[in-house]
Structure 1
Amino acid sequence: MIAGNIYGIVLNDSLQRPTLTEAFMQPPYKAPPEAPVLYIKSRNCLMPGPVWLEDDLTTVEVAATLGLLIGTDATRVSRENALSHVGGICLALDISEPNASYYRPSVRQRCRDGFLPLGRPLPLDDVFLSADIETLINGQPVHTWSLKRLVRDAATLIADMTSYMTLSAGDLLLIGLAGDAPQARRGDTVTVTARGLPPLTVQIQREAKA
């Protein structure tokens, strides 16, 4: 059960990072990130049902990833012991407004109602952490990415994060997004699959007027 915070990670795709070298060198940072780059998904993102888009938004980015449910508190854990703190794993669809910049994204871009559909969780199995994740839109495959592309794999990510913050039991950690994630429009049905995990399907719909 997700009873705590929901953390996501950007810039954890090894194929994306080289394309952003010039942007990394711009103010205010003037260097690539050295630590995991976190963002928050608020709990309203877990609202069940279709994803409703208001009139100001017709297209969304649909980034398929894995969610790790933290089962026991993790503080300053080693990479070797990191996964022992994971109580479950599920497919996740991290939805956001399309935006090329990662500098201070607004809550509106990532945290609208229903912007984090989740699949049914299963106990952790290492085979899931090297799976290919496929996204289909209206039944047609549009994107596949391998978790082998992650700069920090799940164990390394947990170890690095808990070196300066505690991941508490009930937190959910989204382990990374593909830099080339596809986009979906109103009326589309998005399905996410990965071998061994229950598939996840969500509809993108226009919000009805009150």
Structure 2
Amino acid sequence: MKLVTYRGHVSAEGRLGVVQDGLVIDVEGLGEAVGEVFADSMLELIDQGPDALVALRSALKETDGARPPGIAVPLENVRLLAPIPRPRKNIFGIGLNYVEHVAESAKSLDTSKDLPKQPVVFSKPPTAVIADGEGIQHNAAMTQQLDWEVELAVIIGKRATRIAKDDAMSHVFGYSVINDVSARDNRRAGQWIFSKGQDTYCPFGPMIVTADEIADPHNLDLWLKKNGEEKQRSNTKHLLFDIPTLISDLSSGMTLEPGDIIATGTPSGVGAGRDPQEWMWPGDVIECGVDGIGVLRNPVVRIG
């Protein structure tokens, strides 16, 4: 299923929806139509576990062609929020997880030219999250080197502590898209969280696609365009540390919980690695895409 958090009009609270055939089907309204009480948020749905998805699929099938008015509205008539508008915890970021990105980072960002022997982990706070269409803030007093990074996001569906690689994929709820926005001139003594965790530095969306609909998350094209010009293109088969490895490694020392988000790393083609270097400026529009999931579009806006 393709799941979204959306608003039907400006003043409305975010609601949980399923995208199907160009329509957003309201999950709470669907539950009422079949005499069930369904989740009213993405986190609640994830918390409820696999049985909730089974019941939701059954209700979609049962009401196909016979849904009460108002339950389904055209996708273009709603405003999409971030799928999880306020994550409970920091987003787990993975650095240097594509071989060619390791090489370009060593040349331009003073990182090691050697491939990491373990996943390189940082985080982005929940306050960094913005939705499809919202503005990435450019504050000239803070940065002159605002950069882009398209990434596949993994959403955890089941509590994971010290999980073996062989069992790791059973803990995945679904997948989405993240732009790991980075102020390259805001790194502090090798620490990345301020560079990557400022407000609006985590565009996330436009939806979560449940794991059952992604046949192979390690064979997905991902790409990024700046003002319509392609800057990044690769495939998740080139991940240095695959998803089971990331889940196993993170859960070896930190419990992963339902709704946790892992941004799996970016391929080569970031602005810092270009010759000459390129950055994001107010007026730019950044599009991030992952096949089978969707396209995340965000303008860059001036603040300060």
Do they fold alike, i.e. is TM over 0.5? Answer: yes
103-112 or 170-179: which moved more? 103-112
1:184 alignment partner, one of 280, 284, 287: 280
Higher-RCO chain (CA-CA 8 Å, sequence separation at least 6): 1
Q: Which residue of 2 aligns with 1:161?
A: 250
Per residue, is there more helix in 1 or in 2?
2
Query: In the alignment, does 2:74 pair up with 1:74?
Result: no
Query: In the alignment, does 2:128 pair up with 1:45?
Result: yes
Any idea what the Cα deviations from partners look like across 1:61-91, whole Å, max 9, x if unmatched?
1100011111111112122211111112101
2:196 alignment partner, one of 96, 104, 110: 110
Task: Decide whether the 8 Å contact of 2:223 with 2:289 is kept in 1.
Answer: yes
How many angstroms apart in 1 are the aligned matches of 2:130 and 2:204?
10
Percent of matched pairs sharing the same residue: 24
Task: Decide whether the 8 Å contact of 1:70 with 1:167 is kept in 2.
Answer: yes
Q: Which residue of 2 aligns with 1:91?
A: 177
How many angstroms apart in 2 are the aligned matches of 1:186 and 1:165?
38
The TM-score with structure 2 as length reference comes to 0.60
Which AA in structure 2 matches 1:196? G
Q: Which residue of 2 aligns with 1:134?
A: 223
How many angstroms apart in 2 are the aligned matches of 1:102 and 1:178?
23
RMSD: 2.6
3-state SS in 1 of match to 2:199: coil
How many angstroms apart in 2 are the aligned matches of 1:176 and 1:154?
11
Q: CA deviation at 1:140?
A: 2.1
Q: CA deviation at 1:38?
A: 0.6
Any idea what the Cα deviations from partners look like across 1:125-152, whole Å, max 9, x if unmatched?
2434321111111122222122222111
140-149 or 111-120: which moved more? 140-149
Q: Which residue of 2 aligns with 1:144?
A: 233
Query: In the alignment, does 2:285 pair up with 1:199?
Result: no
Residue-pair matches, total: 203
Q: CA deviation at 1:173?
A: 0.6
Which AA in structure 2 matches 1:12? N
3-state SS in 1 of match to 2:204: coil
Q: CA deviation at 1:32?
A: 6.1
How many angstroms apart in 2 are the aligned matches of 1:185 and 1:145?
24
Name which one, 1 or 2, has greater alpha-carbon Rg: 2
100-109 or 127-136: which moved more? 100-109
Unaligned runs of 5+ in 1: 26-30
Unaligned runs of 5+ in 2: 1-42, 44-86, 272-278
